[in-house]
């Protein structure tokens, strides 16, 4: 057999070995030439295809076939660039000048074929502002159940909120259109404000924070005194109520016995156990966006329930998650799920009935309770608490963690402090104003056991074994008690709608009138 090294092409007067580095074509008198393959499928993307940024250090991702060297610059004619070995990432420094910024590139193959000029652009944005803030109400002196509408205009995408009076510190507004945000607030009971100011806040899509803007109109808010009275107790044998949500005259109660129970509270003092929605596992934490309810369902992942019509709700979606989903909170198009064994999961709920897993982050402790404020998700469990930055929901980052003794059960955020209900140490208060430097500032062991928290300004409701304590959270060192509700169940879930507090626990559902009329 002839070896490969001995195979040759015969040309007039020339022997060409086949083992040469270059391939030769056109034997038997044909023309001999070397291949010159041009780069193909070339693509340049700045900052993962973001539309805008406030960072002057730009990450240019480059992909393509048959690329050997590249010429990359912010100069469209590439006069200041030098050829360099191809890399899939190029760092480009942009000037701190607002406007559209482009990066250009040319690419060549090993055979010397060069492409035309490719480019990608991004908006450099270093500022944000509030154009206007309007507050609308029918009268200047507000009472419980009166409505106030806030409207903020920024002219660009982002997130907007207002503070109102002494009891609303961060009221998130809904996006109406590009640069326009609005939301209506129903005045709760128990508020006294002689002069209630409204202050608007806005952060644009790339993180620039605008100067605050105060509305011209002010209000006086008057309400009756807190005087809680248990007006109904509904036995629910074999139900282990954990959390609940109110929707149009019905309470939806998560039940550890693989179900969501539905109670008709059209007449709060005469609740009726209406129906049961079977689920797959331990149904626990839940939260709703409009008529869509999301239920953390243990090994069943997250169950999606359409609550409309409320007398005939139905499961319309589900996503299976590993690690036993235990609690859930929502923000816009994203849901954050605390999983007992698998940290924090981020779901995309842009399609409300078809949640998709977007990202996740591992935590040291169990994920059993969750809450959200600004761009931080707070997770508590048997080990302690974890803080996760979700400013980019697709890439959540663990900020810090702090061990907490006493078996944490529930958490609530208020004015830079995290309140943690624990089974054995009462209420633990942690200063989280600097998320990277957590500090425990108080332990209220006189409130034992503490299993559930409900923040409804100006009060914090603390659920325990057959009792609910009502305290003022603004001074976390004292937690001044202003009311006590006894004769309820072993409290797990609480929800306030208008003047009524709805309570769920093991084997019972209760209704409390917080501000009885004379």
Given a cut of 70, is residue 28 above it in pLDDT?
no
What does the DSSP assignment read for 108-122?
Answer: E-TT--B---EEEEE
Pairing of strands 384-389, 219-221: unpaired
**Residue 268: pLDDT above 50?**
yes
Q: What's the pLDDT band for 21 if we cut at 50, 70, 90? A: very low
Kindly indicate the confidence band of residue 4, based on its pLDDT and cuts at 50, 70 and 90. very low
Contact criterion met (CB below 8 Å) for 450 and 421: yes
User: Quick check: 160 pLDDT over 90?
Assistant: yes
Distance CA 486, CA 475 (A): 24
- What pLDDT score was predicted for residue 16? 43
SS3 sequence, 286-338? EEEECCEEEEECECCCEEEEECCCCCCCEEEEEECCCCCEEEEEEECCEEEEE
Whether the per-residue pLDDT at 93 is higher than 70: the answer is: yes
- Quick: pLDDT tens for 43-72: 999 999 999 998 999 999 999 999 999 999
Say whether pLDDT at 5 is over 80. no
Model confidence pLDDT, tens digit, residues 418-471 = 999 999 999 999 999 999 999 999 999 999 899 999 998 789 999 999 999 999
pLDDT value of position 8: 38
For 49, list phi and psi in degrees, rounded to 5: 70, 25
Instruction: Give whole-number Cα distances, 385 to 250, 329, 494, in Å.
Output: 33, 16, 22
Query: How far from 138 is each of 142, 143, 146, 147, 229, CA to CA, in Å?
Result: 9, 11, 8, 8, 31
Between 6 and 324, the more confident residue is: 324
* pLDDT category of residue 10 using cuts at 50, 70 and 90: very low
What per-residue confidence (pLDDT) applies to 9?
38
Helix (H, G, I), strand (E, B) or coil at 17: strand
pLDDT of 397-407, one tens digit each? 999 999 999 99
Cα separations in angstroms, 466 against 71, 79, 279: 72, 77, 27
At 167 the pLDDT is 81
The pLDDT of residue 374 is 87
Angle, CA 210 vertex, CA 148 and CA 456 arms, to 5°: 40
Model pLDDT for residues 486-501, shown as the tens digit of each residue: 989 899 999 999 889 9
Beta strands in 109-228 (DSSP E): 118-124, 132-136, 141-142, 147-153, 158-164, 168-172, 174-177, 180-186, 193-196, 198-204, 213-214, 219-221
Which one-letter DSSP state was computed for residue 224? P
106 φ, ψ (degrees, to nearest 5):
-125, 155
Query: What value does the mean pLDDT take over residues 385-406?
Result: 96
What is the tens place of the pLDDT at every residue in 195-225?
A: 999 999 999 989 899 999 999 999 999 877 8
| pLDDT (mean) for 325-351 | 96
| C-alpha span between 68 and 294 (Å, rounded) | 50
How high is the mean pLDDT of the chain?
A: 90
Name the β-bridge partners of 204: 158
User: Looking only at Cα atoms, what is the longest distance across the chain?
Assistant: 118
pLDDT at residue 233 tops 80: yes
């Amino acid at each position: 057999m002839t070896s490969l090294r001995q195979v040759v092409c015969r040309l007039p007067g020339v022997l060409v070995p086949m083992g040469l580095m270059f391939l030769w074509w056109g034997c038997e008198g044909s023309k001999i030439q070397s291949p010159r393959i041009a780069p193909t499928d070339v693509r340049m993307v700045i900052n993962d295809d973001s539309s805008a940024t406030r960072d002057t250090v730009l990450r240019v991702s480059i992909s393509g076939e048959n690329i050997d060297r590249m010429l990359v610059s912010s100069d469209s004619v590439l006069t200041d660039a030098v050829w360099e070995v191809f890399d899939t990432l190029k760092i480009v420094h942009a000037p701190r000048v607002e406007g559209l910024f482009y990066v250009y590139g040319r690419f060549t193959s090993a055979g010397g074929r060069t492409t035309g000029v490719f480019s990608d652009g991004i908006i450099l944005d270093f500022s944000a502002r509030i154009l206007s803030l309007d507050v609308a109400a029918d009268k200047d002196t507000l009472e419980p159940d009166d409505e106030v509408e806030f409207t903020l205009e920024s002219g660009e995408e982002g997130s907007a909120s207002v503070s109102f009076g002494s009891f609303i510190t961060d009221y998130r507004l809904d996006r109406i259109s590009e640069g326009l945000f609005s939301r209506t607030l129903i005045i709760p009971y128990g508020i006294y404000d002689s002069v209630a100011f409204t202050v608007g806040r806005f952060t644009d899509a790339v993180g620039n924070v605008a100067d605050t803007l105060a509305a011209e109109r002010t209000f006086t808010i008057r309400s009756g005194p807190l005087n809680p009275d248990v007006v109904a107790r509904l036995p629910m044998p074999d139900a282990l109520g954990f959390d609940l949500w109110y929707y149009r005259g019905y309470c939806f109660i998560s039940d550890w016995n693989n179900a969501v129970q539905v109670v008709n509270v059209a007449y709060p003092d005469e609740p009726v156990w209406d129906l049961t929605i079977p689920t797959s596992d331990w149904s626990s934490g839940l939260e709703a966006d409009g008529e869509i309810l999301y239920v953390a369902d243990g090994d069943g992942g997250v169950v999606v329930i359409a609550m409309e019509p409320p007398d005939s709700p139905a499961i319309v979606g589900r996503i299976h998650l590993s690690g036993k989903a235990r609690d859930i909170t929502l923000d816009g198009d994203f849901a954050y799920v605390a999983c007992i064994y698998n940290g924090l999961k981020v779901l995309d709920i842009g399609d409300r009935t078809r949640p998709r897993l977007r990202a996740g982050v591992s935590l040291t402790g169990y994920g059993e309770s969750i809450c959200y404020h600004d761009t931080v998700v707070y997770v508590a469990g048997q080990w302690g608490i974890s803080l996760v930055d979700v400013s980019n929901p697709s890439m959540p980052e663990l900020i810090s963690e702090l061990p907490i003794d006493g078996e944490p059960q529930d958490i609530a955020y208020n004015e830079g402090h995290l309140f943690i209900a624990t089974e054995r140490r009462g209420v633990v208060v942690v200063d989280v104003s600097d998320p990277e430097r957590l500090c425990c500032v108080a332990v209220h062991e006189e409130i034992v056991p503490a299993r559930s928290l409900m923040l409804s300004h100006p009060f914090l409701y603390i659920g325990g074994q057959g009792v609910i304590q009502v305290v003022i959270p603004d001074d976390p060192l004292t937690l001044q008690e202003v009311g006590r509700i006894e004769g309820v169940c072993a409290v797990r879930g609480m929800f306030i709608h208008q003047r009524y507090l709805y309570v769920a626990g093991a084997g019972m559902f209760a209704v409390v009138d917080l501000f009885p009329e004379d």
